[in-house]
Structure 1
Amino acid sequence: MTDSLPDTTFRSPQDLLGAVPYLLGYHPNDEIVAVYLGADQRILTVAAEPLRFSAETLSERLMLRAPAKPCAQVALIGYGPPAMRPTLTTMGRIIDLFLPLHTLLWVTGSRCVCLLDGCSCEASRGVDIDPVTSPVAAQLTVDGIVALPSRQALNTLVAPDLVSQAETEAALTALAPDVTVTGLLDDVLATAKKAQRLNPGQVAPLALALTHRDALETACGVVCACMWQRDLWLDVTRRVPDRYVAGPATLAAWCAWRRGEHALATVACKRAIHQGPGDRLTRLVTSVVRTHVPAHRLRRPARTDSCCRPGR
């Protein structure tokens, strides 16, 4: 997210730690998180990297992900066991050479310790934390921003459902050679809007239709930020055979991006391009998601329904 987010100015480590899971989209564990701050202490964006890399590599990756918008400082947070502490300390020294280090926190379990040299904040002596009870976390929840339990839980939202894939494959085999997709999208959207799950007989022709550029572009044009559309495109992404996944995963990514769920949009894009370079629309959506352009910057918004409000 490159724009400052409302009510994400942090005044304490508790505020910062409360915001991070909601801005990432999940609760981090065994990861290093960089929180990029504007001059007014507002959070511009966040980025996370797993601990499997060296301090030098992690520092490079996180500096490359700093937002284009003027970034005044960075807060660095390590989530993990005591063994990670030296890596976090080294990263703090490296990153501070390029961007002023505002905060250097180490979180293990429910305990937070500030590792910033010379800092006299409350966390320098270690404090117990409960990010869920933070006022910042509460506000972001009200704003409709979701924090899943883990990165794995996020990936599961777009992971293939093998049983459903087999059902869709059987339905594809049974399709008539002259199957028509006229009116298919309207029927699918009408079904999903009534909170009804598509049956395999609906998923199969939809999967086939979305392999065609015109159909995919038409579908993309009617994607909105409604929760029912989020559920629809994630469900179809999980249920179609892998060779058909690029289309629905692109729509799932586009919907997530429009909702401000950038982490979900990112994993959906990865699923969309996993089978190959994909359609030009898939590549375009992936580029938009990777640049973290916020949805309100869209010059000509896609058609929205009256139910398009956060959390719907």
Structure 2
Amino acid sequence: MTDLDPQPTVRLADPGALAAGLPHLLGFPPEESLVVVSLRGQEPMTVGLTARVDLPPPGHHGSLAGDLARSVRTDDPTAVVLVVVSEDDDGAAGLPHRTLVREAVLGFHAHRVPVRDALLVRRGRWWSYDCSGSCCAPGAGTPLPGGTSDLAVAAVVHGTVVEADRTALAARIAPTRSAGMAWACDEVGDELAAATAERGWDAVAEEGWDAVLTAVHGAGTARAPRLSDRQVARLAWGLRDADLRDRALTLALGESAPGAEAVWTELTRRAPAPLDAAPATLLAVSAWLRGDGALANVALDRALGSEPSYTLAGLLRTALDACLPPAVVRQVIREAAGPSGADR
């Protein structure tokens, strides 16, 4: 399992600040993980892309290191920092997971990406694998810094919510099924089929786009009303149309982005499968562009779990696994939208 997060650029003073800021980079505190943080520019370097993977079994160290290096290289880093997060005790060779760290360093070296530092985070303290001082000796370590960091501030500004763990993050969009919702989807589906036969799909699709704009603009108000079951059903059925869904992608680019993400979140939670695949994919795009790669990955898991053959979700999964920068995604959406933009 991999989580990739393009985050706002933040300057960090020391390795401890970076280690303490991992929950804000990922959206949740990592456990038993290898985290790679891309660093950009010259001194003082800035934080770029962040990638996290579960700690692998020994036989997979080399292949994992190569995959990570190829992915993070797309961020054009000046260097990277490796962070092992583990509660494992020290071994005969000292700090745990040294073999994994060595393979990761070799993997990045093969791709001409320097490893600036390799850290271990464990039980509220951090160590450097390269440090020979007494503070980095097994059983010692340095306490993680407290207080409000630059990363915490940036996370709040950009809308990243830090959950207790990845399970809690997934729970934010967990399905909330009801008999009323299922009935509304059946009823609205029958109504749309009849309307399409009578007036044609173009007219029905345009009404669907108007419904999307109304919901998104309403969600951007201070007291946004909860969508009714019929509204959720109408929006979810409308987004099954690829052209309408692609128009909805453009809402992630401008002032409507917060309202759009709120609507996609509600539809993902309430619409039954496979009607939740489209809004879950739209939510993934919105989260990715906002810098919340953890939520983007969770939303994509939801979309592909609901409908494994959903093409846009599959393409986006490939893009995220390759660390496609959000700027490239924005440009693709702008080009697809044309000069008229989102609210045409």
Band of TM-score, shorter chain: 0.7 to 0.9
- What is the distance in 1 between the residues matched to 2:22 and 2:120? 13
1:185 maps to a residue whose letter is V
Match of 1:310 in 2: none
Over 3 Å counting, the alpha-carbon distance change for 1:167 and 1:2 in structure 2 is closer
- What is the distance in 1 between the residues matched to 2:158 and 2:236? 33
TM-score for the superposition, normalised by structure 1: 0.81
> Paired residue for 1:204, among 216, 228, 233?
233
Match of 2:294 in 1: 263
Match of 1:243 in 2: 274
- What is the distance in 2 between the residues matched to 1:5 and 1:79? 22
Match of 2:9 in 1: 6
Match of 1:23 in 2: 25
Deviation at 1:218, TM superposition (A): 2.5
Deviation at 1:217, TM superposition (A): 1.9
Over 3 Å counting, the alpha-carbon distance change for 1:294 and 1:213 in structure 2 is same
> Paired residue for 2:87, among 81, 85, 91?
81
Q: Does the CA-based 8 Å contact 1:31-1:49 persist in structure 2? A: yes
3-state DSSP of counterpart to 2:21 = helix
3-state DSSP of counterpart to 2:9 = coil
Root mean square deviation, CA, Å? 3.1
Deviation at 1:284, TM superposition (A): 4.3
> Paired residue for 1:170, among 171, 183, 190?
183
- What is the distance in 1 between the residues matched to 2:50 and 2:135? 23
Deviation at 1:272, TM superposition (A): 1.7
Greater Cα radius of gyration, structure 1 or 2: 2
Over 3 Å counting, the alpha-carbon distance change for 1:4 and 1:50 in structure 2 is closer
Deviation at 1:190, TM superposition (A): 3.8
Deviation at 1:76, TM superposition (A): 1.6
- What is the distance in 2 between the residues matched to 1:267 and 1:176? 28
Most deviating of 170-179 and 73-82: 170-179
Match of 1:102 in 2: 116
Over 3 Å counting, the alpha-carbon distance change for 1:61 and 1:254 in structure 2 is same
Q: Does the CA-based 8 Å contact 2:83-2:120 persist in structure 1? A: yes
Higher percent of residues as helix: 2
3-state DSSP of counterpart to 1:15 = helix
Q: Among the aligned pairs, what percent are the same residue?
A: 26
Over 3 Å counting, the alpha-carbon distance change for 1:88 and 1:35 in structure 2 is farther
Gaps spanning 5+ residues in structure 1: where? 306-312
TM-score for the superposition, normalised by structure 2: 0.75
Are 1:112 and 2:144 counterparts? no
1:97-246 pair list within 5 angstroms: 97-98=106-107, 99=109, 100-118=114-132, 120=133, 125-130=140-145, 133-163=148-178, 166-175=179-188, 177-179=190-192, 181=204, 182=207, 183-194=210-221, 195-224=224-253, 226-246=257-277
Deviation at 1:185, TM superposition (A): 1.9
Q: Does the CA-based 8 Å contact 1:257-1:265 persist in structure 2? A: yes
- What is the distance in 1 between the residues matched to 2:125 and 2:274? 45
Are 1:66 and 2:75 counterparts? no
Q: Does the CA-based 8 Å contact 1:110-1:130 persist in structure 2? A: no
Deviation at 1:285, TM superposition (A): 3.9
Gaps spanning 5+ residues in structure 2: where? 196-203
Q: Does the CA-based 8 Å contact 1:249-1:272 persist in structure 2? A: yes
Most deviating of 263-272 and 83-92: 83-92
3-state DSSP of counterpart to 1:148 = coil
- What is the distance in 2 between the residues matched to 1:296 and 1:178? 40
Over 3 Å counting, the alpha-carbon distance change for 1:221 and 1:140 in structure 2 is closer
> Paired residue for 1:278, among 286, 300, 310?
310
